[in-house]
Amino acid sequence: MPDDTQNEAAKPNPALAPFGVLVGTWTTVGSHPMVPGTTFHGRTVFEWIEGGAFLVMRTWIDEPEIPSGISIFGTDDATHACSMIYFDERGVSRHYEASIDGDTWRWWRDTPEFSQRCAVTIAADGRTMTSRGEMSRNGGGWEPDLGLTYTRVE
């Protein structure tokens, strides 16, 4: 069996190139309206995998109310869509669409039971990002979700 860590066929995915601005280690500070008065602290790491064929995002939140998780980003040549597959420590798995346009990274999912969307503004110097998440339950109106400020460590 070949060693996957040495996959010579893997090359950078040009459709993911705009996501390169995310690569690195970030500290996070944020809040969630369902846990008022609590400030969440954590870190997020973005890394290329398989020679840049995919991007992985690993998130850790120090407080137990928000789960730590992992997301893998990839694209489809036919549709030009970028997908983000998410899994967290609760065992929750979700599929999101994702995009980067200029200084805004977005991800979203629309399902009848639970929809989410998030817009992350990337500062011009690439050192900070600010996210604003929203959620909708059972087709209802949009309400605030987790919001984070990311500060680049490296």
DSSP 5: G
Does pLDDT of 114 surpass 70? yes
Cβ-in-10-Å burial (0-12, 13-18, 19+) of 11 comes to exposed
Provide the CATH topology of domain 9-152. Lipocalin (2.40.128)
d(CA 36, CA 44): 22
pLDDT in tens, 52-102: 999 999 999 999 889 999 999 999 999 999 999 999 999 999 999 999 999
Domain boundaries of the chain, sorted by first residue: 9-152
d(CA 24, CA 45): 6
